């Protein structure tokens, strides 16, 4: 039941302007220029642990520059973190929902003001985001997740069964029995904040393993929560080696759920481990995973070429194509292709790749040496393929950072691997279809990739939009009409996809929060029956 104030539907946090010359831009430049290396500890039960097992984090666009040192926990410490999470779980669940929401609101205010510049700078340096990409993530979306999760938790708690004069019924929105293991990806600082706090606001205690690459920005998020009054041990920040930390979490009988965002391969492996171990757990763990994408942009012959080419530039190359929602396959009709390809070439030639501290930069570096090598190999293979035409870009270089030019290939075979597999980089594959083959193209899109996360349809004909929406019913969890497939806003486009893209539990919405509760329904009878015989 709800106690405390009813919160209004939140507004999305407005973006700050970091235009050159503004105070915000000056503060940001200072933060980016700071040379001290930040120590990121493990935090168990509120205690900071600095270990000998230190992992250096380097700026991907300047890999000689060490920006943070992660102090990784050992196996015994991960076990201790789990024990800590369990030891405070009763107190945390007993705290009123209003108090748990208040902590999220306070943390949102702290990040919106005092932490704003520093968390953006950490996201820019650790994850190689420009400020145009960092601010909507570590600035706005993180704050939105906190405010909307608080609002939506109240909405869930308000959902109550019918009562009658002789009996009252109520749903007690209990947390899960055990701890939740939150495993977050590198590409959005905000996602780590959501994966850890969504279960927490519903009364769960959490073991949070961030990605190594985002651990610095995620640690600032943890610190804001702590400053906002999050009790020690409710979220234990454990930036441990992935396989070891997961093995220890999986081995605990108390594992009640996994809140994961990352690649499909890792999520599938977690699912298999839990399934293989299912009898060992006290409760059947809840598995929530939002994973990869091979997101499409489809243009109909009636579409506007400018709108299509601009959407492709932004959605395929924003943050170097390292968004789960990034456009990575496009279907363009023959009649539009000359104009769309001309505009793509022209715009991509202007687009600056380099240091994210430079306000003119559109794309920083890809996240790691491994990602750079994978993209370099994929581009080389495509260049050597006679069925593939290079339309733009195609260069990669590894000094001073892991850079990849925005690259567009046109494929002859619509089922080419470039149209199927997630590369997670700035590579867009285009298939040009005959204008008359619209119906077949819809079926093709639906059957080409195993992912189903986001997709866009551009058309100025209502009937074409209607038909495409119907045929592509299961091809995307987030579908955009005449808009790019990236940039979902919390509260406006609850996010998640089906098929190999995950469990589609819609991050930032009440649907996700319901997964972190094991409700108990209580009936209180005001008039116990006094006769065992039925009345005829």
Active centre residues (catalytic)? 290, 324
Is 25 an interacting residue with respect to ligand NAD (CB under 6 A)? no
What are φ and ψ of residue 7, in 5° steps?
-85, 145
Among 23, 243, 358, 435, binds ligand NAD (CB under 6 A): 243
188: its two tokens: 């959005």
Choose one: 43-51, 58-66, 184-192, 227-235; the region binding ligand NAD (CB under 6 A).
184-192
Q: Which is nearer to ligand NAD, 210 or 406 (CB)?
A: 210
Cβ atoms of 361 and 130 within 8 Å: the answer is yes
Among 502, 506, 508, 516, binds ligand NAD (CB under 6 A): 502
533: its two tokens: 């015989």
From residue 107 to residue 136, what is the string marking binding to ligand NAD with x (rule CB under 6 A)? ------------------------------
The gap from C-alpha 458 to its chain's centroid, in whole angstroms, comes to 25
> 286 forms bridges with which residues in the sheet?
257
Choose one: 34-42, 185-193, 401-409, 439-447; the region binding ligand NAD (CB under 6 A).
185-193
> Which residues inside 207-226 make contact with ligand NAD, applying CB under 6 A?
209, 211
Q: In what order do the strands lie in the sheet with 62-71?
A: 38-40, 62-71, 54-59
416: its two tokens: 């080419």
Is 324 an interacting residue with respect to ligand NAD (CB under 6 A)? yes
Is 506 an interacting residue with respect to ligand NAD (CB under 6 A)? no
Among 80, 137, 290, 505, binds ligand NAD (CB under 6 A): 290
> Which residues inside 254-273 make contact with ligand NAD, applying CB under 6 A?
261-263, 266, 269
Q: Which is nearer to ligand NAD, 262 or 333 (CB)?
A: 262
Q: Which is nearer to ligand NAD, 6 or 269 (CB)?
A: 269
Q: Which is nearer to ligand NAD, 300 or 372 (CB)?
A: 372
Q: Which is nearer to ligand NAD, 191 or 391 (CB)?
A: 191
Characterize 142-169 residue by residue with b for buried, 16 or more Cβ atoms within 10 angstroms of its Cβ, and e for exposed: bbbbbbbbbbbbbbbbeeeeeeeeeeee
Length of the chain counted residue by residue = 536
| Cα gap 157→347, rounded to integer Å | 49
> Which residues inside 374-433 make contact with ligand NAD, applying CB under 6 A?
422, 424
The least distance separating ligand NAD from the CB of residue 113, rounded to whole angstroms, comes to 27
| Cα gap 195→207, rounded to integer Å | 10
> 48 forms bridges with which residues in the sheet?
43
Q: Which is nearer to ligand NAD, 190 or 444 (CB)?
A: 190
Cβ atoms of 122 and 139 within 8 Å: the answer is no
> Which residues inside 43-102 make contact with ligand NAD, applying CB under 6 A?
none
Is 277 an interacting residue with respect to ligand NAD (CB under 6 A)? no
The least distance separating ligand NAD from the CB of residue 246, rounded to whole angstroms, comes to 4
- Beta-strand pair 427-433/451-452: unpaired
Q: Which is nearer to ligand NAD, 327 or 340 (CB)?
A: 327
DSSP class of 105:
H
Among 82, 183, 221, 457, binds ligand NAD (CB under 6 A): 183
**Beta strands, E only, 317-387:** 327-333
Q: Which is nearer to ligand NAD, 243 or 346 (CB)?
A: 243
Residue with smallest beta-carbon separation from ligand NAD = 262
Characterize 429-462 residue by residue with b for buried, 16 or more Cβ atoms within 10 angstroms of its Cβ, and e for exposed: bbbbbeeeebeebbebbbebbebbbbbbbbbeee
The 3-state secondary structure of 347-414 reads HHHHCCECCCCCCCCCECCCCCHHHHHHHHHHHHHHHCCCCEEEEECCCEECCCCCEECCEEEEECCC
| Cα gap 437→300, rounded to integer Å | 10
User: Which residue ranges make up the site for ligand NAD (CB under 6 A)?
Assistant: 183-188, 191, 209, 211, 242-243, 246, 261-263, 266, 269, 290-293, 324, 422, 424, 453, 495, 501-502
């Amino acid at each position: 039941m709800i106690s405390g104030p009813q919160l209004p539907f939140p507004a999305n946090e407005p973006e700050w302007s970091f235009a050159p010359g503004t105070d915000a831009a000056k503060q940001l430049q200072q933060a980016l220029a700071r040379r001290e290396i930040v120590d990121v500890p493990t935090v168990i039960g509120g205690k900071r642990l600095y270990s000998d097992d230190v992992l250096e984090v380097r700026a991907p666009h300047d890999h000689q520059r060490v920006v943070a040192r992660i102090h990784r926990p050992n196996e015994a410490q991960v076990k201790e973190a789990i024990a800590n999470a369990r030891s405070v779980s009763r107190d945390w669940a007993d705290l009123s929902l209003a108090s748990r929401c208040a902590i999220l609101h306070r943390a949102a205010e702290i990040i919106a003001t005092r932490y704003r510049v520093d968390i953006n700078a950490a996201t820019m340096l650790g994850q190689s985001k420009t400020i145009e990409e960092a601010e909507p993530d570590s600035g706005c979306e993180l704050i939105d997740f906190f405010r909307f999760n608080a609002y939506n938790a109240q909405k869930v708690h308000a959902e109550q069964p019918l009562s009658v004069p002789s009996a009252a019924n109520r749903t007690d929105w209990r947390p899960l029995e055990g701890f939740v293991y939150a495993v977050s990806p590198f590409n959005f600082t905000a996602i780590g904040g959501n994966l850890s706090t969504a279960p927490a606001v519903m009364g769960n205690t959490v073991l949070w393993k961030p990605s190594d690459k985002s651990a610095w920005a995620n640690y600032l998020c943890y610190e804001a929560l702590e400053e906002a009054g999050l009790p020690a041990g409710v979220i234990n920040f454990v930036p441990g080696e992935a396989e070891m930390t997961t093995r220890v979490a999986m081995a605990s009988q108390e594992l009640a759920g996994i809140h994961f965002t990352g690649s499909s391969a890792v999520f599938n492996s977690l699912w298999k481990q839990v399934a293989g171990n299912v009898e060992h757990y006290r409760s059947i763990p809840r598995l929530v995973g939002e994973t990869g994408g091979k997101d499409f942009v489809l243009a109909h012959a009636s579409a506007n070429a400018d709108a299509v080419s601009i959407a492709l530039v932004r959605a395929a190359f924003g943050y170097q194509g390292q968004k789960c929602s990034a456009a990575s396959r496009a279907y363009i009709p023959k009649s539009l292709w000359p104009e769309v390809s001309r505009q793509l070439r022209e715009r991509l030639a202007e687009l600056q790749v380099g240091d994210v501290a430079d306000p003119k930069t559109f794309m920083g570096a890809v996240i790691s040496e491994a990602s750079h090598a994978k993209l370099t190999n994929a581009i080389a293979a495509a260049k050597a393929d006679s069925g593939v035409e290079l339309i733009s870009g195609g260069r990669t270089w590894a000094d001073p950072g892991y850079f990849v030019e925005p690259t567009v290939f046109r494929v002859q075979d619509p089922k080419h691997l470039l149209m199927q597999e997630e590369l997670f980089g700035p590579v867009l594959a285009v298939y040009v279809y005959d204008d008359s083959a619209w119906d077949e193209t819809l079926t093709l899109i639906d059957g080409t990739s195993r992912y189903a996360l986001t997709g866009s349809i551009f058309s100025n004909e209502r009937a074409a939009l209607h038909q495409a929406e119907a045929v592509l019913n299961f091809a995307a969890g987030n579908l955009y009409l005449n808009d790019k497939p990236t940039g979902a806003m919390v509260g406006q486009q609850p996010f998640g996809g089906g098929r190999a893209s995950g469990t589609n539990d819609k991050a930032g919405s009440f649907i996700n929060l319901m997964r972190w509760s094991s409700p108990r329904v209580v009936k209180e009878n005001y008039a116990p029956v006094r006769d065992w015989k039925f009345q005829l």
